[in-house]
């Protein structure tokens, strides 16, 4: 039979939109001769719905939408993710389920058994795990239907299994006990993107297929949802883990698999080139491929966040630096250059070159550009605070300090917020992950905003993104890329006066934040122990800033936000050996 793998971009809680999209794509699949269309995890309500699941009105609206969906499907069967009430006497009130819908009714339901509670996931807060796994025969094929995490516990995939239960093994055993064989494993998912995860998934899925001698269909959600970015990349594999069909990346898409000939569609030029070259999805990804994926993910994240929250325009400060330049280019790609206002706000320490660079960037991007000088406002602030500051200024070393630097950043933040309010536009903050980690940013200043586009992008990757943006022509001026980074909040200021070089800083941050290495373990890699200690100290003492930062788009395996939960008031020293 022909099976359509359909990856859609749902909006959480917009039941009529989501069900309408599911029905529309199912109809397209039927018109192409498909017998079955497979959709992603919780496609009906969108993933992750979080504490909306605690609202009875939300659940009632979901159930009504589910019935409307059941009534709206005709001439084709679908597998779709949805909420299901738990009927037992104990446990959480809901299941995360996948159902086969055909001829105006649900004919089979599988409940998610493995509920992740790590990183950004908190499913045990809401859902009751399914108690067993069983197969369903559809048009002569024995299907093993699973939901996302259920496929991430196969033997040999991890050094230590997270769960005692193995749903895949149970499905195989269930059929073997009946004298049958599992023909096709189906996994519907809402698996967020991060750098490196694509290869991880390929390796796990390949092992699942080979270990169980079974082909696999994997359908993933696509689109941006708050900080989470879903890449889609739905696929079909044969029983040896070879990719037979694959969908686009970061786009809604439908691919068709013919189980009689075991042939399918491969969408996306880059994907096709890799397959034609015979490469395996365990080989290292090039820097260019990785940078392109991050760029596409961020563009999608900005576009979806703005669209789903009701924004059509954005505003940001253009300092003449690399961070604001990359942020502006991404925003222009996402929302249209005519909808992004770049604002230069020179202070007494801003160089003429910075203003020229910001202006040239705006011209290259064709986005609106304004200059609002802040020197007079800065002088007025200092005058207003003068009498109060006088007591501190008896100490000569305290006359000019970080306070005056922060005043400039906070004036800019206020001006940008005013522009955001006046036009109803989304204020985009421009800080990168390296700065956020060590607190090299100003609370209520450059941290002001509604969305932090590159807050999970390390500084060195910011430069890679700039080069990628300039791959066809110069958009970000060469001078912006080549100038030493500076906040320009004090005379002759450079970032490296206060921070380690970014190649050292980024490597330490990755080791500490993403690999959870201790100070001693990082120093053993060849880094100066005192430098590592200082970086870790800065991370610890600036937790309070990050708790108040705008929502950021997640592209690494461990981003700041609700996937990283550290106490603000703590005194642990992670020295290690």
Catalytic center residues: 41, 112, 148
Structure tokens at 90: 């104990």
How many Cβ atoms from other residues are within 10 Å of residue 444's Cβ? Answer: 14
Strand partners, 84: 95
Total length of the chain: 577
Interatomic CA distance for residues 539 and 546, integer angstroms? 10
Interatomic CA distance for residues 145 and 98, integer angstroms? 7
Closest CA to 221 of 5, 451, 452, 457: 5
Q: Note the maximum CA span of the chain.
A: 89
H or E element: which one contains 328? helix 322-335
Interatomic CA distance for residues 212 and 201, integer angstroms? 16
Interatomic CA distance for residues 376 and 347, integer angstroms? 9
Distances from the Cα of 171 to the Cαs of 38, 51, 100, 112, 146, in angstroms? 19, 32, 17, 13, 9
Range 398-414 burial, b when 16+ CB lie within 10 A, else e: eeeeeebbbbbbbbbbe
Interatomic CA distance for residues 410 and 431, integer angstroms? 14
Interatomic CA distance for residues 403 and 327, integer angstroms? 27
Closest CA to 158 of 97, 116, 110: 116
Query: Tokens 């001026």 — which residue?
Result: 477
Distances from the Cα of 181 to the Cαs of 141, 142, 241, in angstroms? 9, 7, 18
H or E element: which one contains 100? strand 94-102
Close Cβ partners of 384 (under 8 Å, ≥ 6 residues apart): none
Structure tokens at 319: 């300092």
With left for phi above 0 and alpha for psi between -120 and 50, is residue 49 left, alpha or beta? alpha
Interatomic CA distance for residues 306 and 545, integer angstroms? 24
Interatomic CA distance for residues 127 and 143, integer angstroms? 24
Query: Tokens 């299907």 — which residue?
Result: 143
DSSP secondary structure string for all residues of 474-537: --S-HHHHHSPP---SSTT--GGGTS--HHHHHHHHIIIIIS---HHHHHTTT--HHHHHHHHH
Query: Tokens 């699941």 — which residue?
Result: 53
| Strand pairing report for 105-111 and 141-147 | unpaired
Query: Tokens 């193995």 — which residue?
Result: 166
3-state secondary structure of 324: helix
């Amino acid at each position: 039979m022909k099976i359509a793998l359909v990856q859609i971009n749902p909006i959480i809680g917009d039941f009529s939109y989501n069900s309408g999209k599911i029905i529309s794509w199912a109809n397209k699949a039927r018109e192409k001769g498909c017998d079955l269309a497979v959709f992603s995890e919780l496609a009906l309500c969108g993933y992750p719905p979080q504490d909306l699941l605690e609202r009875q009105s939300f659940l009632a609206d979901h159930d009504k939408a589910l019935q409307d969906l059941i009534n709206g499907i005709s001439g084709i069967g679908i597998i779709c993710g949805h909420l299901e009430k738990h009927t037992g006497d104990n446990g959480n009130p809901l299941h995360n389920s996948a159902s086969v819908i055909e001829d105006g009714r649900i004919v089979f339901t599988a409940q998610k058994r493995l509920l992740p509670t790590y990183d950004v996931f908190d499913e045990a807060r809401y859902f009751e795990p399914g108690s067993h796994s069983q197969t369903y025969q559809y048009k002569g094929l024995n299907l093993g239907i699973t939901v996302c995490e259920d496929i991430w516990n196969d033997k040999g995939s991890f050094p230590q299994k997270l769960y005692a239960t193995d749903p895949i093994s149970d499905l195989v055993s269930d059929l073997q006990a009946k004298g049958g064989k599992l023909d096709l494993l189906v996994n519907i998912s809402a698996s967020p993107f991060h750098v490196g995860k694509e290869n991880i998934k390929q390796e796990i899925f390949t092992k699942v297929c080979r270990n169980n001698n079974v082909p696999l269909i994997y359908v993933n959600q696509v689109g941006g949802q708050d900080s989470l970015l879903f890449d889609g990349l739905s696929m079909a594999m044969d029983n040896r883990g070879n990719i037979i069909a694959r969908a686009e990346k970061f786009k809604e898409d439908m691919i068709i698999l013919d189980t009689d000939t075991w042939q399918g569609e491969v969408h996306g030029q880059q994907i096709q080139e890799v397959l034609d070259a015979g490469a395996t999805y365990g080989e290292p990804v090039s820097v260019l491929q990785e940078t392109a994926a991050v760029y596409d993910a961020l563009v999608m994240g900005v576009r979806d966040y703005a669209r789903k929250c009701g924004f059509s325009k954005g505003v940001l400060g253009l300092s003449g630096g690399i961070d604001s330049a990359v942020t502006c280019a991404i925003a222009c790609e996402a929302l249209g250059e005519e909808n992004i206002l770049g604002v230069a706000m020179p202070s007494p320490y801003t160089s003429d070159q910075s203003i020229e660079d910001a202006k040239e960037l705006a011209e290259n991007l064709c986005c609106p550009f304004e200059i609002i000088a802040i020197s007079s406002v800065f002088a007025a602030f200092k005058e207003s605070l003068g009498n109060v500051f006088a007591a501190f200024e008896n100490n000569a070393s305290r006359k000019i300090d970080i306070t005056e630097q922060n005043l400039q950043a906070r004036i800019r933040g206020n001006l940008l917020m005013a522009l955001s309010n006046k036009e109803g536009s989304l204020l985009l903050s421009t800080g990168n992950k390296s700065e956020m980690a060590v607190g090299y940013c100003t609370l209520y200043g450059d941290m002001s905003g509604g969305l932090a586009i590159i807050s999970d992008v390390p500084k060195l990757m910011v430069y890679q993104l700039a080069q990628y943006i300039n791959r066809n022509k110069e958009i970000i001026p060469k001078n912006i890329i080549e100038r030493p980074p500076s906040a320009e909040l004090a005379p002759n200021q450079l970032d490296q006066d206060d921070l380690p070089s970014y190649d050292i800083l980024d490597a330490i941050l990755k080791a500490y934040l993403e690999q959870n290495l201790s100070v001693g373990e990082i120093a053993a890699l060849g880094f100066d122990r005192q430098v590592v200690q200082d970086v870790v100290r800065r991370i610890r003492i600036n937790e309070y800033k990050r708790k108040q930062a705008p929502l950021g788009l997640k592209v690494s395996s461990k981003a700041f936000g609700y996937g990283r939960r550290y106490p603000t008031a703590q005194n642990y020293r992670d020295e290690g050996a």
